[in-house]
Chains A and B, each alone.
Chain A
Amino acid sequence: MYYSCLFPAKADEPALTRAMPEYFKDLNLDQITEGAMSGFEKFDLAPHYYTLLRDENTVRYRQDAMRDLEKEEVFARAKSFCDTVVAVSRLLPKLQSSLKGEGPLANNAMTKGQFLNAAVKYCVALQEYAETIGPAGAASRALGGMAEYLKELFETSAWKEFLGHTVRVREAFDRQNYCLLIKNSTIRLRKYEGQEDESAYVHQLFDKFAQGETQEYKHTVNEANIAYHVESALLDQLVRMYPEEFADLGKLCEAHAAFLDPTVERFALEMQFYFSYLNYIAPVKKAGRLFCYPEYAREGRTEAAEAYDLALAHSRLGREMPVTNGFFLEPPERVIVVTGPNQGGKTTFARSIGQMTHLGRLGLPVPGSMARLRPVTAIFTHFEKEENVENGAGKLMDDLVRIKPMLEGADRDSFFVINEIFASTTLDDATRISRRVMEKLLAIGAQAVWVTFIDGMASFGPETVSMMSTVEEGGGDERTFRIVRRAADGLAHAMTIARRHALTYEQLMGRLKA
């Protein structure tokens, strides 16, 4: 039996975190989740963005679903299915009360028309999803499982009766054509009798002058009329012209007032989590930045390539994308110590690793081209607070007061991002205190990224790795900021430039042949 698109089974569903985690602001995750949820406010998505998954199986369940949804056609089909189900889920209660004789549109032909529309859309959406999501490339249990669920539903006699009745009513109306003759303020109605199409005749007279393609002047014609009483009066006349068709529609409304399946409804609402994130990252992908699905292992090498700050990338759409950085930790290495010149992208680097760590444990694709990470269960951040700069002692005190509970609450599966702390005391003090905090951190066994101005921290021991912000010459005139374990070198001379433009003899021959 299908349960949910976010959790494989009821037993896997953890208690959801409803409050924003403390580290969100430091890592710019607040911007990411707010951005992702914008446009999805009517769905309760925040807890899903806040809750780190502990269960490996659930992470993979979601990663598989996301891999499916990254296929354009799967996304389009799943989205259209869920949009329809959500719309029906919102409209149906209103129609039900109206059909019971409540409100201004009590049980009239217009309400029944809307009910028919909802039923048709629902039937079509379910059938399309069940038939096409697999062929479109969906292989995950989350998405494919729903198709299986629907196929079982289609075998029930209740569904067969509902579908048959809906189709019969709709087809009966589709066969009808009628005419209105509007003169002065009177509308007369008759069935259509083959009168010639006015536009076709105009085409026939003037098409011979056409040169090349024809421009379309499609004003968006609003087919909704403003006066319900006119539409309603016309429908009442049409009920008399087509009595059998409308009688059958009345029966459909009575027999199937509550046609929406609760499992389908839950699926459509929860899928919005995936949609919201994909929607948020789509323009970043289009701008050329990559996303990947982390692999998880508690032992061995940890690494990531082409990681970047997703919030920063999103805020710079249409401009130059931020630089990407990679890192690796080969055991026993587990703490990255970042030093180097200011304004060199150190904080951004630390944030990007933090973001990757969090987003990955939601089962989402993370900003980067590859990642192999620890299955982190808790994230702690300690960023220098720029505001209320007090005297050195007070600030240092504050720093220590904040970090103490973190160190006490952490274990081997925790992840720390520490940014420029103890900056308010003398270098000697800062160095000494930092070394003691580092010792505690190493004793816990947690992984960490630590941005510091204290160069000495970089060579603390075999567990720490030094990375530096560097200012290097880029390919063009601009300078790019990268965080590297080793320095890169670049050299440009004329033939290199020619090669870059694919203008060497061999390159050009190849191009001219093509």
Chain B
Amino acid sequence: MKTHLLYRDADLRVPEQLPYERELLLNDLELNVILDAMSQGDEAMRDACRAVLLDPLETEGEILYRQEALNEAIAQPAFAREIYAVAVETIRRRRTEHVWLQSQMNALFRGAVEILRMTMEQLKKLRALADGYEGKVRSEAFKNLVAMLRAELSDEYFAQVNAHLDELAFNDGMLISARFGEKLQGEKYTMRRLEKKGMKLKWMFAPSISISSKDEDGLRDLELRKGRVISENVNVLAQATDHVLSFFAALRDEMGFYVGCLNLRDRLASEGLSVCVPKVSPEPLRRVYTNLYDMSLPLIGVKNVVGNDLDQRGRSLYVITGANQGGKSTFLRSLGQSQLMLQCGMFVAANSYTAHIVRGVYTHFRKEEDAKMDSGKLDEELERMSRIAQALRPGALVLFNESFAATNEREGAEIGRQITQALLDSGMEVFTVTHLYAFSRPYWEKRDAYTLFLRAQRLSDGQRSFRLSEGEPERTGYGDDVYRRVFGEE
């Protein structure tokens, strides 16, 4: 039984440990702020949303499958939220109502039986929901879920399971098969189902041994023998429980993503911000959008967020220069976020948005502490780059933010040039925010058709508009302006 709410024919995998480059992405693009708004304190939902967001899809078909389901969830939020609630409740009941007594094998066994009975109750609730929504949900993902629940969770199935759980009380004794072990000891104890008919008579005259009620060692031995098989069966019952619970967990995680999207959308709406359903461009290296903004800013309370527009085709290198505090990092983040959200079937923070599909988004952002010139810092930066390179594939989108500045300008520019060129020549798309004039200048002098130069605007009075426009790299980042703003002196 597969839920397949996110992928037409695959399960969501929630990794415990993020790959290194995705950990970077999470921090550099401020995705945690977005994940917080989606999950609202629900840890499991947060993990699921994180897994989805950091694992962008790479075909339009897959993206449309998700967009269709998300649109339906938005139109009919009760369905997603109700299914999600049953899944969460089941996992909570497993944790709070049933404590497994590890010490006593018999208690462990009975515990496993009880948990299975509980999961049966929960499955019946799911079945009731599925019956109620039959014919009312139309997206491929949700329609299939409803049909599957109704087919697999039949009345006969519930009856069969309950009958077997009753059998596990062993009222007629426990039947065990055995073989001669290495030393001829009884071995490979396996629990068998007792035949219903003629069983009593057949066993009446079988060879037997009886343990006296005074023989403590003997009685203990007998318990151990039963324990051997029971422990084997506890394994099997625990696995059965796991299977049922893993089904609920999958349902929770996959539906959790849609519920998370609903939460995020409600939150942005409450801030008066709009989102749009993005489009996939069949043409490669095509970027066109209006009012694209950094979604993390309104979520942390920033008002009057400024958006950017762009309409470009065929560019593989975007060189972004200009004023400090001019919105360059914000722009990079909005670009990375929207690309990821497009490719995981979400809405994006823009009025309109179309982009081609990239094969992974990667970030290499200068860390604050890198500001100092120091070979140790350069070492760290290059180590990070090297680890990212490990994961890069042709078609990837790579975002650099003031990278390789931890050495002198000439050397930093040379390192940056070699790395950027290798990425471009390997078929990747690069956005690079840089203050290294020695790096940006040669690209400007060449000005080929694949390169676009963007500059943070600085109005003549030193004020920033926080918008980017096309423009030639300049030697200064106007740090003096910032200094003057802060200290108010010349």
Interface residues of A (CB under 8 A from B): 109-110, 112-114, 116-117, 120-121, 173-174, 176-190, 192, 195-199, 201-203, 205-212, 214-219, 221-227, 229-231, 233-235, 237-238, 240-241, 477, 492-495, 497-498, 500-505, 508-509, 511-513
Segment of B41-49, B284-292, B381-389, B445-453 engaged in the interface with chain A: B381-389
Q: In this assembly, does B272 line the interface, its C-beta being within 8 Å of a C-beta of chain A? A: no
Bound form: Cα–Cα A67–B13 in Å: 46
Residues of B436-480 whose CB lies within 8 A of A: none
Contacts of B85 in A (CB 8 A): none
| Pairwise interchain contact A113-B233, C-beta atoms closer than 8 A | no
Q: Please give me the residue from chain B that is nearest to A477 by CB atom.
A: B376
Contacts of B195 in A (CB 8 A): 195
Cβ-closest 4 pairs across A and B: A183-B173, A113-B184, A227-B221, A206-B240
30 A-B residue pairs with CB within 8 Å: A114-B183, A173-B180, A178-B178, A180-B175, A181-B173, A181-B174, A181-B194, A182-B226, A183-B173, A185-B213, A187-B208, A190-B207, A195-B175, A206-B116, A211-B11, A216-B235, A217-B239, A221-B232, A224-B185, A226-B221, A227-B215, A227-B220, A229-B218, A230-B221, A237-B207, A241-B207, A493-B411, A497-B382, A508-B389, A512-B389
Q: In this assembly, does B2 line the interface, its C-beta being within 8 Å of a C-beta of chain A? A: yes
Bound form: Cα–Cα A217–B111 in Å: 15
| Pairwise interchain contact B426-A176, C-beta atoms closer than 8 A | no
Count, A-B residue pairs, CB within 8 A: 267
| Pairwise interchain contact A230-B211, C-beta atoms closer than 8 A | yes
Contacts of A503 in B (CB 8 A): 382, 385-386, 389, 415, 418-419
Interface residues of B (CB under 8 A from A): 1-2, 11, 13, 116, 152, 160-161, 164, 172-187, 189-195, 202-203, 206-213, 215, 217-222, 224-226, 228, 231-240, 242-244, 246-247, 249-250, 375-376, 378-379, 382-383, 385-386, 389-390, 392, 394, 407-408, 411-412, 414-415, 418-419, 421-423, 425-426
Contacts of A202 in B (CB 8 A): 164, 233, 236-237, 240
| Pairwise interchain contact B247-A209, C-beta atoms closer than 8 A | yes
Q: Please give me the residue from chain B that is nearest to A198 by CB atom.
A: B191
| Pairwise interchain contact A110-B183, C-beta atoms closer than 8 A | yes
| Pairwise interchain contact A501-B386, C-beta atoms closer than 8 A | yes
| Pairwise interchain contact A179-B231, C-beta atoms closer than 8 A | no
Q: Main SS of chain B's interface residues?
A: helix
| Pairwise interchain contact B379-A177, C-beta atoms closer than 8 A | no
- Of B177, B195, B376, the most chain A CB neighbours within 10 A belong to B177
| Pairwise interchain contact A494-B211, C-beta atoms closer than 8 A | no
Q: A117-B183, A195-B194, A203-B240 are in contact. Are A225 and B411 (CB under 8 A)?
A: no
| Pairwise interchain contact B385-A501, C-beta atoms closer than 8 A | yes
| Pairwise interchain contact A494-B392, C-beta atoms closer than 8 A | no
Q: A110-B184, A195-B194, A215-B242 are in contact. Are A205 and B160 (CB under 8 A)?
A: yes
| Pairwise interchain contact B233-A199, C-beta atoms closer than 8 A | yes
- Of B386, B412, B421, the most chain A CB neighbours within 10 A belong to B386
Bound form: Cα–Cα A477–B394 in Å: 36
Q: How far is the CB of A497 from chain B (nearest CB, A)?
A: 6
Q: A183-B173, A230-B222 are in contact. Are A498 and B382 (CB under 8 A)?
A: yes
Contacts of B382 in A (CB 8 A): 497-498, 500-501, 503
Q: A208-B152, A211-B247 are in contact. Are A180 and B180 (CB under 8 A)?
A: no
| Pairwise interchain contact A217-B415, C-beta atoms closer than 8 A | no
Q: A186-B209, A198-B193 are in contact. Are A492 and B225 (CB under 8 A)?
A: no
With contacts A180-B225, A181-B206, A498-B382 known, what are 16 further pairs, Cβ within 8 A? A109-B184, A110-B185, A116-B184, A199-B236, A202-B233, A203-B240, A205-B240, A208-B1, A208-B243, A210-B243, A212-B11, A223-B185, A230-B221, A231-B185, A231-B186, A508-B418
